Amino acid sequence: MSTLVIRSQHVLIAGELCPAWIAIRDGIVAAIGVPEELGTTSDIVDFGDALIMPGLVDTHVHINEPGRTDWEGFATATRAAAAGGVTTLIEMPLNSIPATTTVEAFRTKVADAQGQLAVDVGFWGGIVPGNTSELRGLYEAGVFGFKCFLVPSGVPEFEAVGEPELREALPVLSAIGAVLLVHSELPAPVAQAQLEVRNENPRRYLTWLRSRPRSSENEAIAMLIRLSQEFDAQLHVVHLSSSDAVACLRRARVSGVKITVETCPHYLTFAAEEIEDGATELKCAPPIRERSNREELWKALLEGSIDFVATDHSPCPPEMKCRENGDFMRAWGGIASLQLSLPAVWTEAQQRGARIADIARWLSAGPARLAGLRRKGSITVGKDADLVVWNPDAEFSVDAATLYHRHKLTPYEGRRLRGVVQTTFLRGEKIYDQGEFPAQRAAGRVLRRGEA
Ligand SMILES: [Zn+2]
């Protein structure tokens, strides 16, 4: 097979931006060099001043197929990913029917995904009451780890677990070495808060915010730290919103507790004070909190107390967002942003002094590490040639018509963002190029743990 060489003045190699070329053979980075070493090669693609970075890895995506494909599906979600520079995503085990809580359901999902993927996709398995006996089989079949909820998930097929179920599952996970991702809100503080706001106006954002207090996150995380220690289990807090929990997590990690944490672009972008009544496109759980909380999350991310950023892309049919009456308490909780994570995070990050290397750590290397994706997450000889070529100085206004998600409702609509994705390569193949999808077939693969 022939060698493709691409080059630019700004390639992110080992945490530094430098002029470089990348030689790609059989979808793998075969060599990296400086311009002077580049002899006469037939096939050079020169990206000039554009920036070349490892393709993004998003470990928190809800695709909902099969079963709720009218919410989002493999074909639409992975095209949105490609257009956003995301080359690998790991799909959440719920919202599809069946949920990925049995080996049988995992096989169904894999079969459904085949042939539809524009980018590489792996799967998390789910932990629900009564499925402990499935966990080992799921892990051997290729899920990358597991996810559970401590509060109702929003769909009946994926029930929440409590401490008793975790005490049953964690010895198994610890024995097989699998990570557990946890939606970290405890039900008791939420139930109490919901009682307190039951007569408040459901169109007001403050009503929703008050119904999901920080204490439910803080107490859940305290419990997870305790359980991680007791069972020597690897735990991961998904979509951290309450900045109060950062100090607690930092202390635990310093003392060797195996716990990691992600936050999402929306917690780093929006602030409760700015959310208008009825703007249910901004509803998610845990909720977007105050401006001061956002700044604390940024501080934690910049200092490394938060490991990385994942989207929690979780769309639904627009009518379920209750935009007509703006009822925050009834609307589906979930924010669509898979295609926008790079510009959304970069826009805020560069105002706070972050560098491109930070962006790659938060959106590529960090999530790749969580999932154990050894072939992804950096531009390194021997790894997959997954690359995003983008312009960090160009700005654009988000236009729903240019989004490839199944449903276009997103709180980023109309927002001015910095950072335009130009071209995306998956294993050396151009899968997105300035509004076009040049790949002749669906170039993405189903990834299984151990093979990826
Ligand atoms: Zn989620």
Per-residue pLDDT tens, the chain, 452 aa: give them: 578 999 999 999 999 999 999 999 999 999 999 877 776 666 789 999 999 999 999 999 999 999 999 999 999 999 999 999 999 999 999 999 999 999 999 999 999 999 999 999 999 999 999 999 999 999 999 999 999 999 999 999 999 999 999 999 999 999 999 999 999 999 999 999 999 999 999 999 999 999 999 999 999 999 999 999 999 999 999 999 999 999 999 999 999 999 999 999 999 999 999 999 999 999 999 999 999 999 999 999 999 999 999 999 998 898 998 888 999 999 999 999 999 999 999 999 999 999 999 999 999 999 999 999 999 999 999 999 999 999 999 999 999 999 999 999 999 999 999 999 999 999 999 999 999 999 878 899 999 998 87
Ligand 1: centre distance to CA 285 (Å): 9
Ligand 1: centre distance to CA 95 (Å): 10
Single-letter amino acid code for the residue at 404: Y
Ligand 1: centre distance to CA 284 (Å): 9
Strand 308-309 and strand 125-126: pairing?
A: unpaired
CA nearest 406: which of 166, 146, 63, 134?
Answer: 63
CA–CA separation, 295 and 306 (whole Å): 13
Ligand 1: centre distance to CA 331 (Å): 16
Output the pLDDT for position 441: 84
Ligand 1: centre distance to CA 149 (Å): 10
Output the pLDDT for position 439: 85
Ligand 1: centre distance to CA 6 (Å): 36
Output the pLDDT for position 37: 78
Output the pLDDT for position 205: 98
In three-state secondary structure terms, 397 is strand
Ligand 1: centre distance to CA 148 (Å): 10
In three-state secondary structure terms, 149 is strand
Ligand 1: centre distance to CA 205 (Å): 20
Ligand 1: centre distance to CA 297 (Å): 18
CA–CA separation, 56 and 231 (whole Å): 32
Ligand 1: centre distance to CA 315 (Å): 10
Ligand 1: centre distance to CA 22 (Å): 35
CA–CA separation, 306 and 27 (whole Å): 32
Output the pLDDT for position 9: 97
Ligand 1: centre distance to CA 246 (Å): 20
Strand 4-13 and strand 51-54: pairing?
A: parallel
User: Is the CB of residue 236 less than 8 Å from the CB of residue 182?
Assistant: yes
Ligand 1: centre distance to CA 60 (Å): 6
Ligand 1: centre distance to CA 288 (Å): 14
Ligand 1: centre distance to CA 313 (Å): 7
Ligand 1: centre distance to CA 43 (Å): 42
Ligand 1: centre distance to CA 255 (Å): 28
Ligand 1: centre distance to CA 147 (Å): 9
Ligand 1: centre distance to CA 376 (Å): 22
Ligand 1: centre distance to CA 9 (Å): 37
Output the pLDDT for position 451: 81
Ligand 1: centre distance to CA 24 (Å): 34
Ligand 1: centre distance to CA 185 (Å): 12
Mention every residue, 6+ apart, whose C-beta is less than 8 A from residue 400.
408, 409, 410, 413
Structure token digits, residue 320: 């379920």
Output the pLDDT for position 450: 82
| Alpha-carbon torsion, ordered 421, 422, 428, 432, to 10 deg | 90
CA–CA separation, 366 and 374 (whole Å): 12
Ligand 1: centre distance to CA 333 (Å): 10
| Alpha-carbon torsion, ordered 359, 363, 368, 374, to 10 deg | -50
Ligand 1: centre distance to CA 26 (Å): 34
Ligand 1: centre distance to CA 292 (Å): 24
Ligand 1: centre distance to CA 92 (Å): 7
Ligand 1: centre distance to CA 29 (Å): 32
Ligand 1: centre distance to CA 30 (Å): 36
